Structure 1
Amino acid sequence: MNITRENIDELNAVVKVEIAKEDYNPKVEKVLKDYRKSANIPGFRKGHVPMGLVQKQYGKAVLVDEVNKLLQEALSKYLTEEKLDVLGNPLPKEQDNFDWSDDNYEFQFELGLSPKFEVNLDTKEPITHYTIVADDTMIDNQVKTIQKQYGKLVAKDEAAEGDQVTGTFKNEEEGIENTTTLPLDKLKGKRNLNKFVGAKVGDTITLKTKGLFEDDHDLVEFLKVEHDKAHDLDVEVSFEISEINEQVPADLDQELFDKLFGKGKVTSVTELKEKIKEDAEGQFQQQSDQQLLNDVTERLIEQTKFDLPKEFLQKWIQVSGEKELSAEEAKEEYEKSEKGLRFQLIEGKLIQDNELQVQFEELKEMTKERIKIQMAQFGQMDPSDKDLEDIASRVLSNQEEVKKLSEQVMNKKLLDLYKEKANLTNKEVTYENFVKEVYK
């Protein structure tokens, strides 16, 4: 067997594999002998079928199969030994004069070669790395939300601002009849609110659906009208009040603190606010980090210039799926995926140059941390090491989970690399301003 390579240019090559009869014939003869032992052909005893008949019936199929096996093994070994970094898979070239009745064969494969390039994290313009802070307004609003969530409802005879009223919306012509609990702060404008203020149980209030709520989608929830109908609905509805409740906020006392965070973990309003700030900024950190990953990715794709074996990749896309694509479809698919492919190559280069590796212990630690968070949500605040080890082992026995976790650990390593080596400028913002800047 002989394998040679002709480099067409820096991104394309053709590999020729020459296979002689002595390379494949011993394997073909062995397979045919095994077939002869087990062949069940009418008129012959098992194991006594003439070899010529076996050769005639199975010879070509066995030959093709064994040559293809030999070819794939040889090509794979060659790419590994030559350390060729290829894109996609080798594509066989059509050969008009190929004949299986010959003794010796030559196969040709097109290769798309990975480009050579360098990645510079010290980009020309600095990339903004956001530090998102929880300001006093956000923290105070969160305290009010907690008090409301853990508060209690007190029945009343007369409605006031901030109350909840239970009743039934009706409009016979539109087929509307829905009993619901309506928080009065959901209503839009003083005019609608004033119709409820001072109303009593048993009163019926007439309302216009147009402009009843800030968001027309609330008509879907409270009146149970169809989504498509909600946006243009402009009819009168009645609302008969059956119940009025005032939501009394929970006291900021030790009982509430223990319920929220566990016994004795928080002992004052000051500590409560500190904990809210810590938790919020921990979640904001994840958003900030994800944004940094996105921004560095975009900048590296923009500034890292290299060519790709475009024609080869379009050919490969054309034939590599379940269904063969037309040349035009393959071109469109390539154009959609080119940006992602470029970043895969850039990311691979960063991982190689900085010797980033994912260790099994890192996967296990990440898994255990996530299990602890999940168990805490169900009130199990202090799981044993044995429980964590057992659950982590079960999770890591799933190869799909291991793959996902490996990607997440590697993303964390890349993020740390960007924070250390990229040209970043830090900017402290509130969450509201972060949303305005990033999503504009």
Structure 2
Amino acid sequence: MNITRENIDALNAVVTVDIAKDDYSNKVEKILTDYKKTADIPGFRKGQVPMGMVKKQYGKAVLIEEVNKLLKESLNNYLSTEKLDVLGQPLPKTQNEINWEADDFSFEFELGLAPKFDVDLKGEKAITHYKIIADDKMIDEQVERVQKQYGKLVSQDTVETDSEISGVFKNEEEGIVNAVTITLEKFNEKATGKKFVGAKVGDVITLKTKGLYEDDHELMDALKVEHDKAHGLDIEVTFEITEINERELADVDQELFDKMFGDGVVKSVSELKAKIKEDAEKQFVQQSDQKLLNDITEYLVENTKFDLPSTFLQKWMQQAGETELSEAQGKEEYEKSEKSLRYQLIEAKLMEANGIKIDFEEVKENAKTMIKMQMAQFGQLNPSDKELEDIAARVLSNQEEVKRISEQVVSQKLLNLYKEKANVKTKELTYEKFVKEVYGDK
């Protein structure tokens, strides 16, 4: 067997694999000899079928299978030995139909090679890492929300702007009948809430579903319709009011503190506000870090310049899926995925240069931490090690979950690297100002 490579340019090469008869003949003969022992052909006893007949019936199929196995194995070994960093998979070059009656064979493959480049984390312009703080206004609003959450319901005669309204959404044609409790601030338009103000038990309000909520997932929950049906649903529904209540604020006292955090954990209003501030700012760290990660990713993709074997990759994308794409479709797929591919190469370069690796134990520990947090949300604060191990084992038996958690671990390690080595400046501001600055919203 002989394997040679012709470098077309820095990003493209053609590998030729020459397979001679001596490379496969012994293996083919052995398989056919085994077939002869077990072949069940009418007119012959098992094991007595002439080899000529076995070769005539099975020879070509065995030859093709063994040559293809040898081809795949030798090509993979060559790429590994030569340490070739290829993109996609080798593509067989279009060539004339193979003459399987010949003794020797030659196969050509196109390769797309990964580019050589350097990554510079220290850009001239600093990237902002936001430190989001919970200000007094936010903390006071959260205290009031807590008072409402733990307060008691008091019946009302008519709907007011802050009422909790129980009732039934209906649309007979669509088979919608769903009892819910709503508050007016959830509606997308203030005009919708005004339809309810002053209404009484037994009143029926007619509403249009299109634009009723800002997010169609809220509409899905309100009407109890399927996910796909909720998106873009444009019908009229009625809401018959069955109960109207206001929520009387709970007193900010030790009873409230104990309900929220357990007996004696919080003992004063100042401690309550400090705890709310601490919890809120922990959540803000995740949002701030994700923003930094996104911004540095964008910076790296835009400012790390290198060429890709685009023609090869478009051709590979045509052939990579279950259904072969047209040339135009292959180009479209490449254009959609180019940015992601560039970042994957940059990420791999950064991980190699900075010795960033992950192992299964890290993935498992991350999974256990995630499981523990989820269990805490349902009041299970002290799961045993065995419980965590068993649940983690079930989660990690799913390869998609392993991939997802592995990506989280990599992202965290890269984030730590960016904080240490990238040109990052810290900006402190309230959550309200953060949202306005980053998203242009209030």
- Give the TM-score taking structure 2 as reference length: 0.84
Q: For residue 423 of structure 2, what is the aligned residue in structure 1?
A: 423
In 2 relative to 1, CA 328–208 (structure 1 residues): closer, same or farther, beyond 3 Å?
closer
Structure 1 window deviating more from structure 2 (178-187 vs 257-266): it is: 178-187
In 2 relative to 1, CA 53–268 (structure 1 residues): closer, same or farther, beyond 3 Å?
same
**One-letter code aligned to 1:146:** V
Structure 1 window deviating more from structure 2 (369-378 vs 395-404): it is: 395-404
In 2 relative to 1, CA 166–291 (structure 1 residues): closer, same or farther, beyond 3 Å?
closer
Matched, 1:124 2:128: no
How big is the shift at 1:179?
Answer: 8.8
- Distance in 2 of aligned mates of 1:240 and 1:52: 86
Q: For residue 358 of structure 1, what is the aligned residue in structure 2?
A: 358
- Distance in 2 of aligned mates of 1:284 and 1:250: 27
- Distance in 2 of aligned mates of 1:206 and 1:32: 82
Could you list the per-position Cα deviations for residues 244-272 of structure 1 after superposition, in whole angstroms to 9, with x for gaps in the alignment? 54421111222222222222222211111
Q: For residue 265 of structure 1, what is the aligned residue in structure 2?
A: 265
Q: For residue 322 of structure 1, what is the aligned residue in structure 2?
A: 322
SS at match of 2:234: helix
Q: For residue 229 of structure 2, what is the aligned residue in structure 1?
A: none
- Distance in 1 of aligned mates of 2:265 and 2:136: 22
Could you list the per-position Cα deviations for residues 170-197 of structure 1 after superposition, in whole angstroms to 9, with x for gaps in the alignment? 9xxxxxx9998675778958x969973x
- Distance in 1 of aligned mates of 2:234 and 2:338: 38
Structure 1 window deviating more from structure 2 (10-19 vs 88-97): it is: 88-97
**One-letter code aligned to 1:334:** Y
How many aligned residue pairs are there? 421
Could you list the per-position Cα deviations for residues 110-167 of structure 1 after superposition, in whole angstroms to 9, with x for gaps in the alignment? 1100000000100121111111111111111111111101100123568877555668
Quick check: which has more Rg, 1 or 2? 1
Structure 1 window deviating more from structure 2 (158-167 vs 298-307): it is: 158-167
- CA contact under 8 A between 2:196 and 2:205: conserved in structure 1? no
- CA contact under 8 A between 2:375 and 2:381: conserved in structure 1? yes
Structure 1 window deviating more from structure 2 (79-88 vs 393-402): it is: 393-402
**One-letter code aligned to 1:137:** K
How big is the shift at 1:391?
Answer: 2.9
- Stretches of structure 1 lacking an aligned partner (at least 5 in a row): 171-176
In 2 relative to 1, CA 262–365 (structure 1 residues): closer, same or farther, beyond 3 Å?
farther
**One-letter code aligned to 2:385:** D
Matched, 1:302 2:308: no
SS at match of 2:368: helix
Q: Which runs of 4+ in 1 moved over 4 A?
A: 156-170, 177-189, 191-195, 204-210, 215-218, 239-244
**One-letter code aligned to 1:362:** E
Structure 1 window deviating more from structure 2 (115-124 vs 151-160): it is: 151-160
- CA contact under 8 A between 1:129 and 1:288: conserved in structure 2? yes
- Distance in 2 of aligned mates of 1:99 and 1:410: 49
- CA contact under 8 A between 2:318 and 2:327: conserved in structure 1? yes
Matched, 1:26 2:26: yes
In 2 relative to 1, CA 43–264 (structure 1 residues): closer, same or farther, beyond 3 Å?
same
Q: For residue 173 of structure 2, what is the aligned residue in structure 1?
A: none
How big is the shift at 1:345?
Answer: 0.5
- Distance in 2 of aligned mates of 1:178 and 1:388: 38
Could you list the per-position Cα deviations for residues 361-384 of structure 1 after superposition, in whole angstroms to 9, with x for gaps in the alignment? 322322222222122112122223
In 2 relative to 1, CA 385–59 (structure 1 residues): closer, same or farther, beyond 3 Å?
closer
- Distance in 2 of aligned mates of 1:409 and 1:180: 40
Alignment of 1:127-166 (within 5 A): 127-155=127-155, 162-164=162-164
Q: For residue 367 of structure 1, what is the aligned residue in structure 2?
A: 367
Structure 1 window deviating more from structure 2 (404-413 vs 247-256): it is: 247-256
- Distance in 2 of aligned mates of 1:165 and 1:104: 82
- Distance in 2 of aligned mates of 1:106 and 1:76: 16
Could you list the per-position Cα deviations for residues 47-81 of structure 1 after superposition, in whole angstroms to 9, with x for gaps in the alignment? 11110111111111111110110010000000000
In 2 relative to 1, CA 285–178 (structure 1 residues): closer, same or farther, beyond 3 Å?
closer
- Distance in 1 of aligned mates of 2:87 and 2:159: 70
- CA contact under 8 A between 2:37 and 2:47: conserved in structure 1? yes
Q: For residue 81 of structure 1, what is the aligned residue in structure 2?
A: 81
- CA contact under 8 A between 1:2 and 1:17: conserved in structure 2? yes
- CA contact under 8 A between 1:14 and 1:108: conserved in structure 2? yes
Alignment of 1:40-119 (within 5 A): 40-96=40-96, 98-119=98-119
Matched, 1:228 2:234: yes
Q: For residue 174 of structure 1, what is the aligned residue in structure 2?
A: none
- Give the TM-score taking structure 1 as reference length: 0.85
Could you list the per-position Cα deviations for residues 292-313 of structure 1 after superposition, in whole angstroms to 9, with x for gaps in the alignment? 1111111101100000011111
**One-letter code aligned to 2:352:** Q
